[in-house]
Structure 1
Amino acid sequence: MKKILVVISMLFSVGIALGQPGSGKADTTIEVSTAKYSVVTNRFVDNWFMGAGVGGQFFYGDHNRQMKFGDRIVPAFELHAGKWFTPGIGTRLAVNGIQNKGVTQNGSHSTGVIYDASQGLYNQKFNYLNFHADVLFNLTNLLKGYDPNCFYTFSPYVGIGYMITWEEPTSNVVSANLGLFNSFRLNDSWNLSLDIRGSMVQDRFDGELGGRKDEGMLTAAVGIVYKFGKKEWSKEKTTTIRYDNRKEINELREKVDKLSQDNAALKNQLANAKDTTVTDIVIEKNTLAAPVLVTFPINKSTVSNEARVNLGFFAKIIRAGNPDLRYRIVGYADKGTGSASTNQRLSRERAEAIYNVLVREFGVPASQLEVDYKGGVDNMFYDDPRLSRAVITIAR
């Protein structure tokens, strides 16, 4: 008798907990939280760009310190095309040139015009092209997070290339490139750019070996950049949808109220019995069995011994109650785990497992039971997916 009262009291406590405010609160609002730095990766054909620019550059070679800075500046151009793989990392292929200007002592690329007779220096001029591949790091997006409407971004880059001059004496050397690509947003498709780059090559590139270990160019070019394919990035989103389950909770409340009344009646029986030994409880004919929630491990439909104990008490009340009462066995699976077909199968097998225990082990008439299953569902109680891998048995 006391054991029955303990079990019924435990079921009563569970029912009260399920009925607390918040567990059955209706909420059809979709909550969206957006990650600051995370974006959805686009297709390969998206986020491409191409651009062109013009500006100025100066060449630093063996004797350029003897030449005035203003005399060394020449026009420059550049063309490039590339792709952003993320808002923070991209690559491009580029070519820039087209002329270098300096001074020479050995006559390499000399124009024949004396620049400084006292040092035997002649004006030097020759055409060249620098083909290079660069990796760009958009520090604005990497440090501040992606903002599609950001006006200014800066992207340091490093690259390796191949620099050639086809004028005698010809030269073909590997170049190292380091620069800063500044971008100013005009609209969704066009940006204004300022590209500042240093390029370094071997000392022999200008046809004259001197005291320097290397030579190179410093270039600054203003340009325009066109973006094609999908131009923006979609931020990753986490969406939570809470469903209205007030109907089920109200039904549970009604059953809990009935259970509370039955519990009070049992307590009165014990109080009136005094020294008399009570060997059984009296169950009224119209007594409803309290709802039973049986949970299962992931991908399992085996009923545990602990669940069988609770089902035994549940079955005893059904057998002693009104034979016209019907009970519904509903199986569920966790929507967040497994495919839709797997969850449909699991929810059916779980409901059938509870049905078999009640009928075959505890003698509940099959006519009083009906089996249903819902497949994979979102979290039904307390935002806990374990409570969705379950079977609920409740009076219809």
Structure 2
Amino acid sequence: MRKILILSLGFALSLGAQAKDYHRTADTTTVVCRLSADGMLRPLKPSYMKGALVASPWTDNWFVQAAGGTTVFLGKPLGCNDLFGRMKPAFSVSIGKWFTPSVGGRLNYGGMQFNDCNNSSQDYQYLRADFMWNVLGNLYKDDVHTLARWSVIPYVGVGMLHNKVNAHKPFAISYGIQGQYHLSPRIAVTAEIGNMTTMQDFDGYGKAHRLGDHLLSASLGLSVRIGKTGWKRVIDARPYIAQNEWLSAYASSLSDSNSRYHAQHDRDCQTLEQLRKILAIEGLLDKYGHLFSDDAASSVTNGYPRNDYSGLNSLRARMRDKYGNGQKTKVMESASCTEEYGNAEGEPEDDYLSLIHSGKACIGAPIYFFFELGTDRLLNRSQLVNLDEVARIAKKYGLKVKVIGAADSATGSEAINDNLSRSRARFIAEELMKRGMENGTISQIFDGGIDDYSPNEANRHTRILLYL
């Protein structure tokens, strides 16, 4: 009984393990395809289809061949000579092209002499076009940069023979096989066995307009490839199709998200308007009205970072407090501004405010834009964000802008630095006008070469000063 219980328990445990292993295997074979946004937004590297090659352009993969050998004429009537008695020398030259690694064509010219049925020598020549098929051409598809060492090329073609003795020019059908051994990517040794079948009266004997005469040939020669050789693989378009479909879906999802955010923004604006009305009814609009100002709204809606102009922000606080509780915020003076109009350090804050109102001092600290050596190209294009803010504030409050260009006196001549400071100032002024500022509100000053800052690269700048 104990043995039966032990065997039953072991059998039950084995079934549980098998069931557990079955579920694990089923889970691991589940493949979930996840397209990475980071990967799909990057340019794809081309992948190639296995076993597919692009057809050769018209200018590529040409070859010329020259061969010499022997010809044996077998006609009707046959005559009484043996095979070796019928052998005569022959030559051939051809030019052709491979359209793919397997398919090609050539134009072949050759001839010399043959023995007719009466064992008399006759001169002949031929011109024919052959279609060629390399049965080992698929070896190229594994590595397009390595030429296959051997080629086995059956061919078939049509052409015309010319017997110089009797002036017969009958139609002929050619067929045979050629073998090649490549000594290099361009040079190959060729061995060819072929036949041309033509009309029975080619040698002057036999019936006309009936096939029956044959010119058997065997030859050895060389084949030389000219022009560009090799083959291009076919790029697999499936990854690009998948990426295009993904990008289309991604753009559609972004458009949907943008529509939702736009609707949410409209609802938020309506809510803020209702809150404004409630504050006005409760008499709290003066205390909390600054939360509804354009500055507060723009800090939320603008898609670029805000610069903190301490002097200008302090001036705004003063102007708001003029109608509020009368408390004033201490003004942070700018050494760069006072540098233009003398040192204002230690002066009462009311004097600084009066200087700003009188136009004798700038508002806050200057904004600097740094340039590459010897050019009017910004060292960092992200500085253009500062121009967006400067133009917006200047237009909103009717401020005037002074643009001062400078160059590094440690490099370049005086004339070069003068021109460079002009072009740098002009660049910033033009960028401000592109952002809606009028030319009359912008003044340009050219410092030429300076050595006021360290390191020397800091002197290659244009600075902007804001004035009432």
TM-score by length of 2: 0.44
Match of 2:91 in 1: 77
> 1:196 and 2:193 equivalent?
yes
Query: Conserved in 2, the CA contact under 8 Å of 1:36 and 1:145?
Result: yes
For 1:225-240, list aligned pairs within 5 A.
225-238=223-236
Pairwise CA distance, 1:103: 2.7
- Rounded to whole Å, the distance in 1 between the matches of 2:261 and 2:38 is 33
Give deviations 1:336-386, integer Å, cap 9, x for gaps. Answer: 359xxxx7x9977864553233333684547667789xxxxxxxxxxxxxx
**TM-score with structure 1 setting the length:** 0.51
Partners of 1:352 and 1:371 within 8 A in 2: no
1:125: how far off? 1.0
With over 3 angstroms needed to count, the CA separation of the structure-2 counterparts of 1:84 and 1:200, relative to structure 1, is: same
CA contact (8 A) 1:351 1:371 kept: no
Pair 1:360-2:263 in alignment: yes
Pair 1:239–1:176, CA change in 2 (3 A):
closer
Shift of 1:162: 0.7
Q: Residue 72 of structure 1 aligns to which amino acid in structure 2?
A: R
Corresponding residue for residue 336 of structure 1: 244
Question: Per the alignment, in what secondary structure is the counterpart of residue 201 of structure 2?
Answer: helix
Question: Higher RCO, 1 or 2 (CA under 8 Å, sep at least 6)?
Answer: 1
1:183 shift after superposition: 1.2
User: Is 1:38–2:52 an aligned residue pair?
Assistant: yes
Q: Are 2:214 and 1:216 aligned?
A: yes
Q: Do residues 130 (structure 1) and 126 (structure 2) align?
A: yes
Deviations 1:108-137 (A, max 9, x none): xxxxxxxxxxxxxxx211111110001111
Q: Which amino acid aligns with 2:198?
A: V
Question: What is the CA–CA distance in structure 2 between the aligned matches of 1:21 and 1:128, rounded to whole Å?
Answer: 70
Structure 2 CA distance for aligned equivalents of residues 76 and 337 of structure 1: 63
User: Which structure shows the higher helix fraction?
Assistant: 2
2:140/2:147 contact within 8 Å kept: no
1:51 paired to 2:60: no
Residues in 1 aligned to 2:71 and 2:235: alpha-carbon distance in whole angstroms: 46
Structure 1 unaligned spans of 5+:
1-19, 105-122, 242-297, 299-333, 373-396
| Contact 1:81/1:93, CA 8 A, preserved across alignment | yes
Superposed CA offset, 1:223-254 (max 9, x none): 1011011111123354999xxxxxxxxxxxxx
TM-aligned CA distance change 1:21 to 1:33, over 3 Å: closer
Q: Which residue of 1 aligns with 2:109?
A: 95
Q: Assess, with a 3 A threshold, how the Cα gap between structure 1 residues 171 and 25 changes in structure 2: closer, same or farther.
A: same
Specify the SS of the correspondent of 1:44.
coil
User: What's the secondary structure of 1:206's corresponding residue?
Assistant: coil
Q: Give the structure 2 partner of residue 113 of structure 1.
A: none
The DSSP-based 3-state class of the residue aligned with 2:117 is: strand
**What does the per-residue CA deviation read over 1:76-131, in whole Å, with 9 as the maximum and x for residues that have no partner?**
10000011111111111001211111333xxxxxxxxxxxxxxxxxx211111110
Secondary structure of the structure 1 residue equivalent to 2:262: helix
Which SS does the other structure have where 1:103 is aligned? coil
Answering whether residue 73 of structure 2 is matched by residue 165 of structure 1, we say no
The reply to whether residue 176 of structure 1 matches residue 84 of structure 2 is no
Give CA deviations for 1:1-42 in whole Å, capped at 9, x if unaligned. Answer: xxxxxxxxxxxxxxxxxxx998779999x9886544311233
| Structure with the higher strand share, 1 or 2 | 1
Calculate the aligned-residue CA RMSD, in Å: 4.0
Pick one of 112, 133, 136 that aligns with 1:140.
136
Whole-angstrom CA distance in 2 between matches of 1:199 and 1:21: 61
Q: Which amino acid aligns with 2:184?
A: N
Which amino acid in the other structure matches residue 61 of structure 1? G
Alpha-carbon distance in 2 for matches of 1:362, 1:157: 76
Partners of 1:94 and 1:336 lie apart in 2 by 50
Percent identity over the alignment is 22
Kindly provide the CA deviation profile for residues 50-77 of structure 1, in whole angstroms up to 9, marking residues without a partner as x.
Answer: 1100011100012435211111111110
- Measure, in 1, the Cα distance between the counterparts of 2:193 and 2:138: 20
Distance 1:35 1:23, change over 3 A: closer
Q: How does 1:204-283 map to 2 (within 5 A)?
A: 204-209=201-206, 213-238=211-236
Moved segments of 4+, more than 4 Å: 20-28, 30-36, 142-147, 210-213, 237-241, 345-350, 361-364, 366-372
Count residues in correspondence.
238
**Residues 176 and 141 (structure 1 numbering): CA distance in 2 closer, same or farther, change over 3 Å?**
same
Query: Does the C-alpha gap of structure 1 residues 237 and 347 become closer, same or farther in structure 2, counting only changes over 3 Å?
Result: closer
Deviates more, 1:222-231 or 1:143-152: 143-152
Pick closer, same or farther for the CA change 1:131–1:141 going to 2, 3 Å.
same
Find the counterpart in structure 2 of residue 289 from structure 1.
Answer: none
Question: Is the contact made by 2:198 and 2:211 (CA closer than 8 Å) also made in structure 1?
Answer: no
User: What corresponds to 1:156 in structure 2?
Assistant: 154
Equivalent position amino acid for 1:164 in 2: H
